[in-house]
Amino acid sequence: MFTIDKETFKRDYKKKFLEIHGRELEDGNNQSKYEALGSLVRDYVAKTWMNTNKRYNSTGEKQVYYLSMEFLLGRLLGNSLLNLGIRDICNEALSELGIELETLENLEQDQGLGNGGLGRLAACFLDSMASLNIPGHGCGIRYKYGFFEQKIINGSQVEAPDNWLRSGNVWEIRKPDKSEIVRFGGEVKCEDVNGRLTFTHINYEPILAIPYDTPIVGYENDVVNTLRLWSAEPVSNEFDFSSFSRGDFLKAIEYKNSIEAISHVLYPDDSFYEGKMLRLKQQYFFVSAGVQSIIRHFKCHGGDILSFDDKIAIHINDTHPTLAIPELMRILLDEEGLSWVDAWRITTNTISYTNHTILAEALEKWPIDMFKKLLPRIYMIIEEINRRFCEELWSKYIGQWEKISKMSILGDGYVRMAHLAISGSHSVNGVAKLHTEILKKQEMADFYYLYPRKFNNKTNGITHRRWLLKANPKLTKLLCESIGEGWIKHPTDMVNFEKFAYDKNVRKELGNIKRDNKSKLADIVYKDQGILIDPNSIFDVQIKRIHAYKRQILNCLRIMDLYNKLLENPNLDIVPRTFIFAGKAAPSYYLAKKTIELINSVAYKVNNDKRINDKIKVVYLENYSVSLAEEIIPATDLSEQISTTTKEASGTSNMKFMMNGSITIATLDGANVEIRDEVGDDNIVIFGLNEREVIDYYQKGGYSSWDTCNNDPRLRRITQDLINGYYCGDKDRFKVIYENLLTYNDEFFVLKDFDSYLKAQDKVDRLYRDSNKWEKMAAINIAHSGIFSSDRTIMEYATGIWGSGFLYKNL
């Protein structure tokens, strides 16, 4: 294990500072001190990284590659120090040099190469794979600009580019010698060579894919895995020069830009699919580079291509990397000369697929015309996959043409990515029990019937190292003092903490820790927004992407109603509350942007109304990110998980909150169901329509939001306030929200669940008054959160899907 003593660390640090800045540490500013520290930590990691790779190459263990369009890592310094086991030493050494570690850590730019849940899950999985000694690596795109930076100006979201590489990135290593060529466009030449039909891709446009590697440090176990992100560049600069000499310099620059555009920016949509050519280019670009480099590395270490699937597992994070299937087929057929049958066996055994959504509007399908032009050989392969797939269907479903055309991979002029992903993989999983059941029963029922053994559930998880050890050191300390340190390596042992729910002193200490964390957040809010919030109030938090199905509007309507009640009776007996929101809206998602405006208008009015005696405050924190979540979550009393039942595949912030001792108010959606099963009905507050009711309404109708509204005077009033200028002079500003709720019959049952939500909130108020009871609930939530560590999830993937990990090492 890596160790270092304080004095050596100080010496190394001063030396490193001098080396990279050419001056003494004392003369540096914080940014330069951060850079030196990052660079030193990377050096410490380097040797273990090299040794890990050597070990993988010599033992020939099965390697897992996690392909994802998004990796939402956040900051790396703190977690790398923590996982190396030297964060305390480093902290002490720096403080002896008059430097505060936390200050330097906060200077690191978040690596925000993801939209939300799916990207953060990928990051948690990398941490767990390394920490569990599983040879698992990430493969994705090195976007020059990550998820946009959000500013709130006059209550509205304004987007700015996230130039995260501006001051460099100490963690990445550019590896030009490991580049790959990705081919777009052109034609396919078919020839008969000695009786075998061969296919040659000609007249294509070659693009250079350059990898940048980032070390992923395992927790105190001498493992460093790799996240490899690909960047697009022109194959050579010759083109520039020849154009320049022809006086066509601008054209050359344009050409260069058009290529670099591929890895320029992350698409900021997380639930609407749009058939944009550039997005398809991004997908094929990183998948092709990734699969080529996996095969190159495999062969270079003596692997026999016919046993590729014994040694390699490739996982696709949603359908975005599905082209890994035809790309692997292409290489096996055209470059390795395998038969279709062998290539298909290897491909399907290698690939596994996770679905993250049931929203129909998020399902990816690409127009065939566009696809064919961009990827002619890949399209031919998909045609052949589909021909064989339909043949299989014909023999099973004789004469059922409608069913067959519904299931086909190619149909209605589109390539249907989910169908390709299911047919070309050996495993299809959902991300929470309820979600997987809905996939099996509804969205993918036909495929489940055809391939029942492919379908399985893997409930999501989160890494407790970032979300508890790093984000909440005080709670970590209390846990260690109460139950020892074993839970850090075996998080399900946190259940030993349950008995401390009945220990008065521990409960009190839990309350103190929460209060400290709340004060720290209150300082941040004050610095950021100039709003004073009271750490004695209930911190009631909803932080996530803004989306109609996540129902920030329900939360906001309830605040509007409470405000009305307070105006009627300023002495209303409620525990003071601070409502905290954060989250980004997709720039093209009008309703989501209006939701942000509504929350901010309500905030402005409520926060400035002296009549209500500061009983409630509303705060919208700008630019939600991993690092901001690390501040908010440990300071939260009440976690809002209020999506329309059936719509949230899993949710993962729900897990982060419970692990930090928040109480959850929730619908029985996604993983909330499993959280309820773990903690029991007494330790969570549930409300709203259940799965059956929602599905029945969707299938049979029978819901009228208009009637629901008219029968409830509270709703009548607050919906009117959306269009009468009460919250802002402009009567039209929130009309779209009103119309969504009333003219278009409230697709997400906001009004239907309103009454039950308010009753649940009253229950929260009652529970919070009894601090003994509240802390007991908090303790029980913490104790039962271990199962939601991504270590559990990754063990399930490793043993149930990938055939990798320690169980397999001794076989």
Max intra-chain CA distance, the chain: 91
Q: Which of residues 441-460 bind ligand 26Q (CB under 6 A)?
A: 460
Check residue 127 for interaction with ligand 26Q (CB under 6 A): no
715-744: contacts with ligand 26Q (CB under 6 A): none
Side-chain-side CA neighbours of 279 within 13 Å: the count stands at 18
DSSP calls for 456-467: EE----B-HIII
Share in percent of the chain as helix, strand, coil (round to 5): 55, 15, 30
In the chain, DSSP finds a helix count (H) and a strand count (E) of: 35, 25
User: Measured from the CB of residue 272, what is the shortest distance to ligand 26Q in angstroms?
Assistant: 7
Q: Which is nearer to ligand 26Q, 69 or 689 (CB)?
A: 69
366-405: contacts with ligand 26Q (CB under 6 A): none
Question: What residues between 412 and 441 interact with ligand 26Q by CB under 6 A?
Answer: 431
Please identify, among the stretches 232-240, 304-312, 355-363, 761-769, the one whose residues bind ligand 26Q according to the rule CB under 6 A.
355-363
Give a three-class secondary structure readout of 227-238.
Answer: EEEEEEEECCCH
Residues 6+ apart with CB under 8 A from 540: 577, 578, 579, 580, 637, 638, 640
Q: Does 270 bind ligand 26Q (CB under 6 A)?
A: yes
Q: How many residues does the chain have?
A: 811
Q: Identify whether the C-beta of residue 263 lies closer than 8 Å to the C-beta of residue 303.
A: no
Nearest to 17 by CA among 5, 25, 6: 25
Q: Which of 199, 239, 267, 604 binds ligand 26Q (CB under 6 A)?
A: 267
Rounded least distance, CB 139 to ligand 26Q, Å:
17
Which of 357/636 has CB closer to ligand 26Q?
357
Q: Least CB distance from residue 407 to ligand 26Q, whole Å?
A: 21
Query: Which residue from 171, 230, 273, 414 is in contact with ligand 26Q, where contact means CB under 6 A?
Result: 273
In the complex with ligand 26Q, the residue whose CB is nearer, 122 or 795, is: 122
Contact predicate 622/154, CB 8 Å = no
Nearer to ligand 26Q among residue 279 and residue 763 (C-beta): 279
Nearer to ligand 26Q, 269 or 691 (CB): 269
Cβ proximity to ligand 26Q, 651 vs 805, nearer residue: 651
Selected binder of ligand 26Q within 651, 661, 786, 805 (CB under 6 A): 651
Residues designated catalytic: 356, 544-545, 550, 652, 656
N- to C-terminal Cα distance for the chain? Answer: 26
Residue 718, Cα to own-chain centre: how many angstroms? 34
Closest by CA to 759, choosing from 620, 561, 566, is 561
278 binds ligand 26Q (CB under 6 A): no
- Rule CB under 6 A: say whether 364 interacts with ligand 26Q: yes
Residue 648 makes contact with ligand 26Q by CB under 6 A: yes
Identity of the residue, 68 or 293, whose beta carbon is nearer to ligand 26Q in the bound complex: 68
Q: Which of residues 498-557 bind ligand 26Q (CB under 6 A)?
A: none
Give me the least distance between CB of 218 and ligand 26Q, in Å please.
Answer: 22
How many angstroms separate the CA atoms of 624 and 584, rounded? Answer: 7
Helices of type H across 622-690: 626-632, 653-659, 672-679
Amino acid at 27: D
Distances (CA, A) of 236 to 142, 229, 285, 419, 656: 20, 20, 17, 38, 47
Instruction: Of 608, 605, 603, 604, give the one whose Cα is nearest residue 618.
Output: 603
Per-residue 3-state assignment (H helix, E strand, C coil) for 300-319: HCCCCHHHHHHHEEEEEECC
In terms of Cα–Cα distance, which of 302, 268, 29, 18 is closest to 143?
Answer: 268
Which residue number is nearest to ligand 26Q in terms of Cβ?
Answer: 117
> Which position among 80, 111, 263, 357 is part of the footprint of ligand 26Q (CB under 6 A)?
357
Number of residues that bind ligand 26Q (CB under 6 A): 24
Question: Among 427, 439, 350, which Cα is nearest to 64's?
Answer: 350
Among 14, 21, 256, 279, the residue binding ligand 26Q under the rule CB under 6 A is: 279
| Least distance to ligand 26Q, CB of residue 71, Å | 12
670 pairs with which residues across the strands? none
Q: Which of 90, 121, 224, 599 binds ligand 26Q (CB under 6 A)?
A: 121
Q: Please state the closest distance from residue 805 (CB atom) to ligand 26Q, in A.
A: 21
Based on CB atoms, which residue is closest to ligand 26Q, 649 or 685? 649
Task: Restricting to residues 80-119, name those near ligand 26Q by CB under 6 A.
Answer: 115-118
CB nearer ligand 26Q, residue 272 or residue 806? 272
Q: Which of residues 151-170 bind ligand 26Q (CB under 6 A)?
A: none
Binding site for ligand 26Q (CB under 6 A): 115-118, 121, 267, 269-271, 273-274, 279, 356-357, 362, 364, 431, 460, 648-652, 670
